[in-house]
Amino acid sequence: MLSRNTIKSKIKTFDEIKKLRETFRDKNLKLVFANGCFDILHVGHTRYLNEAKSLGDKLIVGLNSDLSVKKIKGSNRPIINDKDREMIIASLQAVDYVFQFDDKSVDKILMQLKPDIQVKGTDYTEMNVPERNTVMSYGGKVAIVGDPKSHSTRLIIDEIIKVFK
């Protein structure tokens, strides 16, 4: 089990992540980048992140902030606030570092970090990943990881609503 201090040490600002990226590059460590809302953590998320970590030396997770989640999912989301989601993601052993971002897209982040591999879940194919052209422009790779899309926060919310009707 990770200590609270260890978990907190995995939470970074984007500027801190950029500095870490340079250190990883100097040490020839392969960087894998994953991103998402991770609103209600479920088994699909954990399998996605564990498989992502297996592709490289360091796994950095970009977490959509509350503002970003609202832009993507609507005004009723997120269910869990970004500070709590950040702590939950940081507590996973597969995750080396996590940071928050406000944009709907991670193109700007990818251009600055230039991870070796950007991972997406199985609701994508390598050809329809929105940031694919960005990743290809600097010589990175896109990988599809995780379970078939049979788990989702939306399904969990729907089940909870059924219970309380």
**81-131 pLDDT, tens digit each:** 999 999 999 999 999 999 999 998 999 999 999 999 999 999 899 999 999
Average confidence (pLDDT) over 61-82:
95
> Quick check: 147 pLDDT over 90?
no
Residue 137: domain span: 4-163
**Domain CATH code at residue 120:** 3.40.50.620
Alpha carbon separation from 94 to 84, 134, 159 (Å, rounded): 18, 25, 28
| Tally of domains within the chain | 1
Residue 151's pLDDT is what?
Answer: 74
Query: Measured between alpha carbons, how far is 47 from 52 in angstroms, rounded to an integer?
Result: 8
